Homo-oligomer: A and B are copies of this chain.
Amino acid sequence: MISQEKNSGSAATPGASDASAGSSRARPVTLREVAEAAGVSTATVSLVINKKKNARIGDETRQRVHDAIRQLGYRPNAMAKTLVSGTSRFIGLVADGVATTPFAGQIIHGAQDEAWKHGYALLITNTEGNRDLEKDAITMMLEYKVRGILYSTWFHRPTDIPDTLREADFVLVNCFSPKPGAARAVVPDEAQGGRSATEILLRGGHRRVAFINATIPAPAKDGRLQGYKDALEAAGISFDPGLVLEAYPDQEGGYRATEELLKRNVTAVYCYNDRMAMGLYDGLRENGLSIPDDMAVVGFDNQEVIAAHLRPPLSTVSLPHYELGAAGVRLLLGLDEAPGDSPVKIACPAVERASVGVHSTA
Contact = CB atoms under 8 A, between A and B. Distances in A.
A125 B122 contact: yes
A5 B118 contact: yes
A234 interface: no
B116 A79 contact: no
A38 B175 CA distance: 41
Contacts of A10: 335
A59 interface: no
Given A125-B112, A251-B309, A311-B282, A79 B75 contact: no
A140 interface: yes
B108 A11 contact: no
B121 A123 contact: yes
Identical chains bound together, number: 2
A101 interface: yes
Interface string A206-234: 00000000000000000000000000000
A278 B25 contact: no
A76 interface: yes
B99 A25 contact: no
B98 A109 contact: yes
A309 B278 contact: yes
A118 B97 CA distance: 22
Contacts of A338: 17
A40 interface: no
A109 B124 CA distance: 11
Interface in A256-298: 275, 278-279, 282, 285
A78 B305 contact: no
Contacts of A303: 305
B334 A17 contact: yes
Interface string A117-142: 01111111110100001001001101
A76 B2 contact: no
Interface stretch (A80-88, A190-198, A238-246, A351-359): A80-88
A183 B19 CA distance: 11
Contacts of A166: 21-23
A172 interface: no
Contact of A101 (B86, B89, B102, B167): B102
A79 B89 contact: no
Interface string A1-34: 0111100001111100110111101011000000
20 contacts: A2-B89, A2-B119, A11-B334, A12-B334, A12-B337, A14-B333, A22-B166, A23-B166, A77-B143, A79-B82, A79-B145, A83-B83, A99-B106, A102-B305, A109-B128, A112-B126, A250-B309, A252-B309, A278-B309, A279-B311
